[in-house]
Structure 1
Amino acid sequence: MNTNEFWALIGDAARDGGTPDAVAGRAVATLAKRDAAEIVGFEQHRRRVLDASYKVDLFGAAYLVNGGCSDEGFDAFRGWLMAQGREAFARAVGEPDSLAELPAVKRAALTGEELGSEKMLAVAVDAYREATGEEMPEEPATKRPSTDDFWDFDDEEEVRRRFPRLAALFNEAPAE
């Protein structure tokens, strides 16, 4: 499976809308119809996408949007972001403040809803189990980048500097 096929499958699953978990369910149903090697290829690509998106500023944006964020929470946030599609995902990785343009982020600013989808992270595992009746072969654990470059995500001034649009949405109070 290549990059275009990976994102096309997600895009097709998202076409009918719904929650990220609904997108994950449709992706599982589609992927489960493919052979085991393609399902494993999807999982390998998902891991590469997550590895490439483990960026300090995206983590900081997830922290702001969700009112805090752990490593697992950041994974779930990026699962949610995958369900938004290739373009939104790529823009957010390159410019996390672009998240402020997404309707779900605007809604979360008003409702306090936490954005995440663990089901998007498990699409290949669930599809493999459905297709083969077996568990997917274990892959080596993903290495986490160093957190040495993390900045203080609770520093309101730094948040406003890095994410002016997100900070405005989430009503970050001006410095006194």
Structure 2
Amino acid sequence: MDIEDFWQFLERSARETTDRDQRTRWLQDRLSRISLTHVVDFQMHLDAARRPIDTYAMWGAAYQIMDGLCSGDGFWYFQPWLIGQGRHWWQHAAKDPNNLADIPAVCALAGRSTSEWTDTEWPQWEELAYVASRVHDQITGQEDSIEDALAARDHHSLSTPQALGPRWDLDSLAEIQQHLPRLASLFPRKRYIKA
């Protein structure tokens, strides 16, 4: 599976299903029909797609959107959600996290309290991170079997954010407006904000 196949799989899952759970099942079903090598490729492409968005600036953007409700785990689950928006939106946001303001799924959350968001609207997709692993386990009949397959290809999947880039105070209104002006306008923070 090359990078084009990876993106086609993800984008087709969005066209053929209506929510994240259905997409997860669709991806697991399709991946279970291909070779184990390609299942491992899928995981490697997913890991590679995380790298350009595993930044402190992106974490700040996710933190702003989620009104401060974005821990390390929350950011880790935000990354596959962003990848799941498709190649165009992933690239657009990777160029500048403030560009998240253009993503339709983000715009749909603006102006609403996080308590009003449904589970499927939350900008997190934890299950995508485990799709390839579950399929690999299912086919081999061995738990965590993908880890050995990844190691054999000199690849190790991370399990927590390794956010790169300069840090700034995610609760400072002045810094939020400096770094994320469009998101600050769309998502005025209610929690833990400092003037």
Tell me the TM-score normalized by structure 2.
0.79
1:133 and 2:141 are equivalent in the alignment: yes
- Give secondary structure in 2 for the equivalent of 1:131: helix
Change in Cα spacing, 1:125 to 1:67, as seen in structure 2 (3 Å) is same
Q: CA deviation at 1:18?
A: 2.0
Structure 2 unaligned runs (5+)?
151-155
Q: Structure 1: which amino acid aligns with 2:64? A: L
2:5 maps to which residue? 5
The alignment of Structure 1 onto Structure 2 pairs a total of residues equal to 175
Q: In the alignment, which of 123, 128, 132 is matched to residue 124 of structure 1?
A: 132
Q: Structure 2: which amino acid aligns with 1:158? A: E
Identity %: 29
Q: CA deviation at 1:99?
A: 1.3
- Give secondary structure in 2 for the equivalent of 1:108: coil
Q: CA deviation at 1:59?
A: 0.9
Q: In the alignment, which of 168, 172, 183 is matched to residue 151 of structure 1?
A: 168
- Give secondary structure in 2 for the equivalent of 1:151: coil
Alpha-carbon distance in 2 for matches of 1:146, 1:50: 10
Structure 1 outlier segments of 4+, above 4 Å: none
Alpha-carbon distance in 1 for matches of 2:47, 2:139: 20
Change in Cα spacing, 1:141 to 1:31, as seen in structure 2 (3 Å) is closer
Alpha-carbon distance in 1 for matches of 2:11, 2:139: 21
Structure 1 unaligned runs (5+)?
none
Q: Residue deviations 1:104-157, cap 9 Å, x none?
A: 212323141332011111111122233333333315352853667221111112
Q: Structure 2: which amino acid aligns with 1:2? A: D
Q: Structure 1: which amino acid aligns with 2:75? A: F
Change in Cα spacing, 1:107 to 1:148, as seen in structure 2 (3 Å) is closer
Change in Cα spacing, 1:99 to 1:17, as seen in structure 2 (3 Å) is farther
Give 1:1-176 correspondences, 5 Å limit.
1-68=1-68, 69-109=70-110, 110-112=112-114, 113=117, 114-135=122-143, 136-138=145-147, 139=150, 140-142=156-158, 145=162, 149-172=166-189
Tell me the TM-score normalized by structure 1.
0.87
Alpha-carbon distance in 1 for matches of 2:163, 2:7: 28
Q: CA deviation at 1:27?
A: 1.2
- Give secondary structure in 1 for the equivalent of 2:162: coil
Q: Residue deviations 1:66-108, cap 9 Å, x none?
A: 2232221111101111221111111111121121122321232
Q: Structure 2: which amino acid aligns with 1:81? A: L
Alpha-carbon distance in 2 for matches of 1:163, 1:46: 26
Q: Structure 2: which amino acid aligns with 1:102? A: I
Q: CA deviation at 1:53?
A: 1.9
Contact 2:49 2:83 in 1 (8 A): no
Q: Structure 2: which amino acid aligns with 1:98? A: N
Q: Residue deviations 1:25-62, cap 9 Å, x none?
A: 21111111101111011111111111232112111101
